[in-house]
Amino acid sequence: MARITQQMIFARLWVALVMLWAGLRILAVEIWLIDYGINIWWFALIEVLSSVLYGVSSARLVKELATRHRKNSAKWGSLTLIGYVLPDTYLLSVGRSMPLATYLVVVSLAVIFAVIALVRTRTSVMKTAFTDAG
CB neighbours (10 Å) of residue 118?
A: 10
For 18, phi then psi, to 5°, come to: -65, -40
Q: What global pTM score does this model have? A: 0.86
Rounded-to-integer distance, Cα 80 and Cα 90, Å:
16
Q: Report pLDDT digits (tens) over 46-72.
A: 999 999 999 999 999 988 998 889 899
Ranges of the chain whose pLDDT falls below 70: 1-2, 130-134
pLDDT at 133: 62
**Checking phi first, is residue 95 left (phi over 0); if not, alpha (psi -120 to 50) or beta?**
beta
